[in-house]
Structure 1
Amino acid sequence: MTKIKAQAEACSGERTYQELLVNQNPIAQPLASRRLTRKLYKCIKKAVKQKQIRRGVKEVQKFVNKGEKGVSLLSGIMVWQETHCPMKVYCHLPVMCEDRNLPYVYIPFKTDLGAAAGSKRPTCVIMVKPHEEYQEAYDECLEEVQSLPLPL
């Protein structure tokens, strides 16, 4: 059995939040709690329906660098996965977010992040933008993410 198949089988079953934290990367801070992770997944699902997300390192980085046409102020919540992907792929993004005052948070597993975004493929970063259709859920998530302590 190949390594990829073994990982896929291990990922296919239901896992608890504590099981997902076994392979936690120590530099993945701030880490979302189980409750906040669920709220973020629900907010991401609502944002997908309104097409208000950016998915993947390239797309998110381009959005953070350039912004959106006609929008001078960036707003949104950055959500990263913290395991099973080399951190060097997206380790520059937290610094970019801190420079632009964008809130960000890490969650435990990327296949769940991809599934919440309506994709069959896992993804390591998603940016959720605000929209009036799910503003209440977005504000609640934003408040909790901003209350988390940033790493030194």
Structure 2
Amino acid sequence: MTKIKRDPDEQEAQPEASSGDRTYHELLVNLNPIAQPLASRRLTRKLYKCIKKAVKQKQIRRGVKEVQKFVNKGEKGIMVLAGDTLPVEVYCHLPVMCEDRNLPYIYIPSKTDLGAAAGSKRPTCVIMVKPHEEYQEAYEECLQEVHALPQSV
């Protein structure tokens, strides 16, 4: 195979585009049309911190199949959904399940960041954070802010 030579200017521009984390506003470009209610940048950071604490206590459910199973069993918690998941049909039934069972749910912009907060190298499109006394204060704070947001119609 032969290598394609590029301009020196093009090689310099490439690392800038792929380096570091993308900002919150850059992540909003990839959102699904159903991603409502969407967490603010501040609430997104709080949710990531709460998820990291929950992982240490093994109090999360990760992935559509696992979350759906435990919602059907009646487990309580905050459901955090990634707003950039495609196709939407993968998880569009979960908000309806949450509304039927009065569970709070919120969308965040990035499935990659959601997976990273859960301590995984793989992106994940949904996580349920269960309450626990070790991080009760952070959980309650997130829960209040999620309830304060208007639900989608």
TM-score of Structure 1 vs Structure 2, range by shorter chain: 0.7 to 0.9
Q: Is the 8 A contact 1:79 1:126 kept in 2?
A: yes
Task: State the alpha-carbon separation in 2 of the partners of residues 45 and 60 from structure 1.
Answer: 17
Task: State the alpha-carbon separation in 2 of the partners of residues 30 and 49 from structure 1.
Answer: 27
Q: CA deviation at 1:11?
A: 7.0
Task: State the alpha-carbon separation in 2 of the partners of residues 129 and 117 from structure 1.
Answer: 13
Q: Is the 8 A contact 1:85 1:124 kept in 2?
A: no
Residues 12 and 117 of structure 1, relative CA distance in 2, 3 Å threshold:
farther
Q: What SS class does the counterpart of residue 134 from structure 1 fall into?
A: helix
- Please give the TM-score of this superposition, normalised by the length of structure 2: 0.86
- Equivalent residues in 2 for 1:1-152, closer than 5 Å: 13-67=20-74, 74-152=75-153
Q: What SS class does the counterpart of residue 107 from structure 2 fall into?
A: strand
Rg larger in structure: 2
Unaligned regions of 5+ residues in structure 2, if any?
1-16
- Please give the TM-score of this superposition, normalised by the length of structure 1: 0.87
Runs of 4+ in 1 over 4 A off after TM superposition: none
Q: CA deviation at 1:24?
A: 1.8
Residues 101 and 84 of structure 1, relative CA distance in 2, 3 Å threshold:
closer
Task: State the alpha-carbon separation in 2 of the partners of residues 62 and 11 from structure 1.
Answer: 37
Cα deviation, 1:65-110, whole Å, max 9, x if unaligned, reads 113xxxxxx3200000011421100110000000000000000000
Tell me the matched-pair count: 137
> RMSD over aligned Cα, in angstroms?
1.3
Task: State the alpha-carbon separation in 2 of the partners of residues 11 and 109 from structure 1.
Answer: 16
Q: Is the 8 A contact 2:37 2:150 kept in 1?
A: yes
Q: What SS class does the counterpart of residue 49 from structure 2 fall into?
A: helix
Task: State the alpha-carbon separation in 2 of the partners of residues 65 and 136 from structure 1.
Answer: 27
Q: Is the 8 A contact 2:43 2:142 kept in 1?
A: yes
Cα deviation, 1:6-44, whole Å, max 9, x if unaligned, reads xxxx77631100000012222210000000000000000
Cα deviation, 1:123-150, whole Å, max 9, x if unaligned, reads 0000000000000000000000011100
